[in-house]
Amino acid sequence: MKDKIHPKYGDATIACICGNVIHTRSTVKEMKTNTCSACHPFFTGTAKYMDTAGRVEQFHKRYGKK
């Protein structure tokens, strides 16, 4: 590795708006995020999946299938 061309790599803190704090290493010392694995619906199991087949059937029922 060449000297004096790489950024400093050290301890970093990632803070989410939900209050979760993650300690890691990075070239940036502090980061703030809107979502993390502790509050994201996919990871918490509260994700709502859209039923696309049901929506198509609802459209055909409402406007008539041609």
pLDDT in tens, 1-40: 788 898 999 999 999 988 999 999 999 999 999 888 888 8
Residue 46: its pLDDT value, please?
Answer: 77
CATH numbers and ranges of domains, the chain: 10-63 (4.10.80.400)
Task: Answer yes or no: is pLDDT of 52 > 70.
Answer: no
Q: With 0.85 as the threshold, say if the pTM is over it.
A: no
- Helix and strand numbers (H, E) in the chain are 2, 3
Residue 66: its pLDDT value, please?
Answer: 62
> Which amino acid, 26?
S
Residue 24: its pLDDT value, please?
Answer: 95
Which residues, listed in sequence order, are joined to residue 20 by a DSSP beta bridge? none
Q: What are phi and psi of 25, to 5 degrees?
A: -125, 140
In terms of C-beta density within 10 A (0-12 exposed, 13-18 middle, 19 or more buried), how is residue 22 classed?
Answer: middle
